[in-house]
Copies of this chain bind each other. A is one copy, B any other.
Amino acid sequence: MLTIYSDKHKLRNSKTELVGGLLVEPFERPSRMEHITARIKETGLGEMIEPRDFGMDPILAIHDADFVSFLSTAWEEWKATGAKGEAIACTWPARRMVQICPNDINGKLGYYCLATETSISEGTWEATLASANVALEGADRLADEKVLFSACRPPGHHAAIDLYGGYCFLNNAGIAAQYLLDKGTERIAILDVDYHHGNGTQDIFYTRDDVLFISLHCDPMDEFPNFLGYANETGEGAGEGYNLNFPMKPGTKFDEWRANLKQALDRISDYAPDALIVSLGVDTFKNDPISQFKLESDDFTTYGADIAKLGLPTLFVMEGGYDIGEIGLNTVNVLQGFEAG
């Protein structure tokens, strides 16, 4: 299996994540990707290549232009205030407040953010662009390769039309999906197996029927992102019926998770898409430090094979997974399971 990878992910190297009332080293850190690429080499999964630069058009095809402009300048604007730390949102348009973007950088951060754990740091934008290109290169080669792995970092599935957070800035899977549609593909399914709900992807395609979005995740009643991912969110307008959430309780084991996956795969099969994009988070692993599902490493191989049975051209796009020691094993297990499936 071909992997698309860019060294530029290392430019996303924030020093602070707000969690538990403290600023700590971010769980989403460069060594995650180093362990994944090491495992790819160790297992001989296949070649790793750099992406081309696809420019801004495929990004602006799904993201708000003012939001993209904000992301591209946020670090410079923040630095100009003389702030000593990284750029963290402090206030936001809460209930009954007005939904307008203020002039000052603190206001802008809050307007465009959905969660403060994600600091904007030097190099974040460059790494984010490279990550989008990693997804786009995978999408561009999908017709030829049939299956690829876009080793995206930073991840993307929490990034909405005009919101960042949850370690995500641009929605890599969404950008890849729109690129395929714009190249003539008629229908895409996005299957999000990350532990956290893919709120950004849902937001982007919620009113559309050319992208079926299905997410398996921890119940937002109990887990980030808390404010999207409920079972009653089924799409709107033309998109009604094309959004499907499978929230599961903390502590969920593979049997229950796989039963929901089977329902998801059945729905994808009925939809008969031209291609599948998998938002691949491996934070469902039992030892993940910030998650509460109970998958074993072998379970990742099993469900990779389950997904393969759809027989669809499939682009895997990397999302979350924070058990650094096992992230390579679990990620490559899915890909190897798919190849063997």
Contact = CB atoms under 8 A, between A and B. Distances in A.
Interface in A1-36: 16, 18-23
Given A97-B199, A107-B221, A114-B97, A18 B90 contact: yes
Contact of A92 (B99, B103, B162, B227): B227
A281 interface: no
A220 interface: yes
A225 interface: yes
A interface residue count range (under 10 / 10 to 19 / 20 to 34 / 35 or more): 35 or more
Interface in A142-184: 160-163, 165-166
B23 A84 contact: no
Contacts of A99: 95, 227
Contacts of A111: 226-227
Contact of A225 (B87, B91, B230): B91
A203 interface: yes
A251 interface: no
Nearest to A15: B21
A322 B225 CA distance: 34
A69 interface: no
Interface string A180-217: 00000000000000000001000100000000000000
A278 interface: no
Interface stretch (A39-47, A115-123, A305-313): A115-123
Given A97-B227, A227-B98, A91 B103 contact: no
28 contacts: A18-B18, A18-B90, A19-B90, A20-B81, A21-B85, A88-B116, A89-B116, A90-B117, A90-B224, A91-B115, A91-B116, A91-B117, A92-B115, A94-B113, A94-B160, A94-B165, A95-B160, A95-B162, A97-B227, A98-B227, A98-B233, A100-B227, A102-B222, A102-B226, A104-B221, A107-B226, A107-B227, A111-B226
